[in-house]
Amino acid sequence: MNKYLKRILPLLVTILLAGFLFQRGIKWNDLQAVLHQARWGWLLLALFWQASSYGAVTWLNEILLQRYGARVPFQKQYMIQLAMAFIEAAVPTASISGAVLRVRLLKSHGVSPDVATATTMAEMTLVSVSVVLLALPVAGLAMLNGALGLRVLNRWLFTLLAAAVLTTLTIKQWNTPRFAHIRAQWLQAVAHLWDNQIRPRGLKQFGAWTSQRLLRRFRYLEAEFVALLHDRPYAILLSLLARSGFEALGLMMCFYALGQSLPIVTLILIYTLTIAINTLGAIPGGVGLAEVSLTALYAQFGISTETALAVALAYRLTDYWLPRVAGGLAWLWLERGYPRQIPETAS
């Protein structure tokens, strides 16, 4: 049942959002005029900035691996990042993931599975946190300036601020005796659920993974993550800022291509909300759902629905589709030494 819900729900949401856009009255003649007047040369710059953002993430991984003395050529790490993006979008239900692919491809450079897994988890966590932290000051500034008035979009901002407050309180209370007791109770409940409900139903996949083994692995990865942050914090921060900056510039080029020039605060706010929408959808990459959702989002900032749709399509082309095509080619290139080997599920 859950399998079908994951596929049907995004389609239903897409249909509802599409209905909302049609209610706003998309005029196809106006859309053709918008596309005809667009300056598509800006999209080349958008692609350049997107390629640079992948370079920033590659640098981040290089920084994380240096703690373990691993030396992987930058070009290969860059191709692995593209291939990971393609794999996670193209075959999300197969017994393979971008993380598994990275573990296997880095093995030839002396990187152990534990190190590859720890650095991959650290990268994903840091990137996610950096997007949220970037959104908070911009959201607060937008509300103080009344840039969004009383629109429904303010609910997004208050949600972000509430999440930030909750996260800050959790971090501050993490090591207190009371919070440690609460954590122990939660872990005990999760372990009981795993051993009595989940593991018995998947003995073939999880038979060797008892709750105690999972907890030991979790504590190990948690300790490694903290150690990575303490090792080179400023270099990590700079790489994250570079990644967000390059992606925001890529989005800005898409607006410029359609003749739109937005204030920098509004643009960064749109960027953070765009990243959140890009993660939606059980369909690979949120196909359809993302395009329609982004159109509805951009239309809230005073531009026509036709222009908003064109910007959304341009952004998805430069940020999602073309990088995934490049990722597929990179994957084929990296797999040339493994013509018949199918990646196995990592432990």
Query: Is the pLDDT confidence value at 57 over 90?
Result: yes
- 299 within a domain of the structure (yes/no): yes
Q: What is the largest CA-CA distance in the chain?
A: 65
Tell me the pLDDT tens digit for each residue of 184-215. Answer: 888 888 888 888 877 777 666 666 778 888 78
Average pLDDT, the chain: 76
Domain count, the chain: 1
- Residue 181 pLDDT: 79
- Is the residue at 175 inside a domain? no
The model's confidence at residue 53, banded by pLDDT at 50, 70 and 90, is: very high
**Is residue 337 very low, low, confident or very high in pLDDT (cuts 50, 70, 90)?**
low
Report yes or no on 20 lying in a domain. no
Q: Is the pLDDT of residue 5 over 70?
A: no
Report pLDDT digits (tens) over 75-89: 999 999 999 888 877
* Range(s) of the domain holding residue 272: 31-148+232-337
C-alpha–C-alpha distance, residues 40 and 270, integer Å: 21
Q: What is the pLDDT of residue 250?
A: 93
The yes-or-no verdict on residue 134 having pLDDT over 60 is yes
Examine the pLDDT at 306 and tell me if it is beyond 60: yes
Q: Is residue 90 part of a domain?
A: yes
CA distance 89 to 182: 37
Please give the residue that has the higher pLDDT: either 33 or 157.
33
Residue 5 lies in a domain: no
Q: Which ranges in the chain belong to alpha helices (H)?
A: 2-23, 28-37, 41-66, 74-90, 98-107, 113-144, 154-173, 177-193, 199-201, 203-206, 211-231, 233-257, 264-278, 289-298, 305-316, 322-334
Please check whether residue 83 is in contact with residue 98, taking contact to mean a CB–CB distance below 8 angstroms. yes
Reported confidence tier of residue 150, pLDDT bands at 50, 70, 90: very low
Task: Report the pLDDT value the prediction gives residue 281, as an integer from 0 to 100.
Answer: 43
Tell me whether residue 256 is in a domain.
Answer: yes
Query: Is residue 329 included in any domain, yes or no?
Result: yes
Query: What mean pLDDT comes out for the span 87-115?
Result: 76
Residue holding tokens 């993550």?
A: 225
How many other C-beta atoms are found inside a 10 Å radius of the C-beta of residue 211? 18
pLDDT at 40: 85
| pLDDT(26) > 70 | no
Cα–Cα distance measured from residue 194 to residue 206, given in angstroms and rounded to the nearest whole number? 10
The amino acid sitting at 261 is: S
41 pLDDT higher than 80: yes
pLDDT score, position 176: 77
Which of the pair, 118 or 29, is modelled with greater confidence?
Answer: 118
Q: Between these two residues, 285 and 32, which has the higher pLDDT value?
A: 32
Q: Is residue 92 part of a domain?
A: yes
**Structure-token pair, residue 238:** 């700079």
Please write the tens of the pLDDT for every residue from 254-301: 999 988 888 777 787 788 778 776 655 444 545 566 777 788 778 877
